Structure 1
């Protein structure tokens, strides 16, 4: 049985960079274009605006074309890497763990780092500020907004937390709605489609709600948090395991030095909130694999 403490992931640091073989083949002949894919945490235009300059930076650093692909859903990232069509991917923890569980030959190499060197974030439940709801137990029969079946903070951690409260979402709430993205979850809450919505949260000034408010999409003061999870290991960036070692080395160096080499492009990724990427490996996501298995077992019990 997974414990609440198991949600806390400790990222591996000090991952050694693989040496470039003396007679390495020119990988550019085999990879004239690299695809970098992003999970749909916000709308397509927002992702393009946030990641476009960074992808241009990667193209310059690697000396080859890097194309940005915005996945339709979390599963598309997993399938794209399994098929070898996505060379680099920015995952959520649960979707990366799912990729490992389904046999994708992928390697986490960089982890996002929040202010103060924190390598973790939280799942929260939001309600409208003027609603009468003060705790989850006040929402029986109301509508719950989740993000995606492969979202960590938008599905798996919320389901784990609700199970700890002895709540089965599908029977406790009037309706459970998958909104497709973190932005859509808050939009659904704002419009009254759902009465409570799961989302990600780093700090008071660093959350999906903060980003949406800064873009004029919502008013931050219109919402309040009624539940916050324990810390979850931060999101990884992963590449295909069978890429040439000299290419992997170039990708790692481009990510780890991004804050120095192209500060503007790097800061756009997080609105200037994140610190430079740090090394990580697949072992850091072992607790998330266990979390995924726990949620899978919940589904099986309900289906039987």
Structure 2
């Protein structure tokens, strides 16, 4: 005879079998996954930061996850466009650029800061010993940016400059230099190659500047380590939404769900890997959806319009 308990047990067994079969289906199609990140620091630093988390993902998903360190934001965009990059760590601007140019990528999470917020800022930094107190003081000087697709290192700085009635940075400054990374922008500032540098900043303990100071990567002319007091911020943008982690839209739903679960479980399942990834400055991952970056898409369109005006 069948009773309610027997029926429920049978249903549960069928559900488990179906889930297991489904997982095996995507594992057969995706025996390996590629995860791309854009370095905010040198390549060895990126590997040291990400390797434990990548190992954790491999264990949780049951397939090998490969870390791909992209040369720039465009490489991540193109990697997802051609389907070679399955998971990507984006900046807000680069994700928006990917969406604008037809890449079938979807956001599922972003970083939650230690205070629970999910945003950061773009800052203009100068050396404290310099005479510069505002952007007005820097006309005809050299500006260091990060990458054309960097949010805090190019797009938001240009938007902020436009609010100051500086629509063409290349005309206002003597030279505008794309340094290639957040670290390189600050190195250029420390070495005097540029007079002002745009960079990301969340709080005094969570920024590229603080990471570099902690690792004594910034030096004075005599070789002594620089300190926080050697730098001055002369402008801070409005809050920017932390960039998303995104997956290819056309991957199986259960694979995407497994990736999301692994991310959200990370702070408790592998605390050491998560804290290495975040320098202990993040609370965890926040739920996110693609439409959260609609405002950033509008920002990208605006910056594009500035470029078109300059070229016309």
Match of 2:163 in 1: 164
Show the 5 A alignment for 1:146-295: 146-167=145-166, 168-218=168-218, 219=226, 220-295=228-303
TM-score normalised by L of structure 1? 0.92
Match of 1:6 in 2: none
- Structure 1 window deviating more from structure 2 (22-31 vs 179-188): it is 22-31
Deviation, 1:269, is 1.4
Tell me how far apart the structure 2 counterparts of residues 49 and 134 of structure 1 sit (CA, whole Å): 37
Question: Which runs of 5 or more structure 1 residues have no equivalent in the other structure?
Answer: 1-18
Larger Rg: 2
- Structure 1 window deviating more from structure 2 (174-183 vs 41-50): it is 41-50
Match of 1:107 in 2: 106
- Structure 1 window deviating more from structure 2 (38-47 vs 189-198): it is 38-47
Show the 5 A alignment for 1:58-137: 58-137=57-136
Question: Which runs of 5 or more structure 2 residues have no equivalent in the other structure?
Answer: 1-14, 219-225
**Residues 30-89 of structure 1 deviation map (CA, whole Å, 9 limit, x = unaligned):** 111100000121111111011011001000000110000000111000000000000000
| Maintained 8 Å contact 1:145/1:176 | yes
- Structure 1 window deviating more from structure 2 (166-175 vs 286-295): it is 166-175
Match of 1:302 in 2: 310
| Maintained 8 Å contact 2:92/2:296 | yes
Choose between structure 1 and 2 for higher RCO, CA contacts under 8 A separated by at least 6 residues: 1
| Maintained 8 Å contact 1:135/1:227 | yes
TM-score normalised by L of structure 2? 0.90
Tell me how far apart the structure 2 counterparts of residues 286 and 41 of structure 1 sit (CA, whole Å): 24
RMSD of aligned residue pairs (Cα, Å): 1.3
Higher helix share: 2
> 2:55 aligns to what SS in structure 1?
helix
Match of 1:10 in 2: none
| Maintained 8 Å contact 1:206/1:273 | yes
Tell me how far apart the structure 1 counterparts of residues 247 and 230 of structure 2 sit (CA, whole Å): 39
Tell me how far apart the structure 1 counterparts of residues 45 and 77 of structure 2 sit (CA, whole Å): 21
**Off by >6 Å, runs of 4+ in structure 1:** none
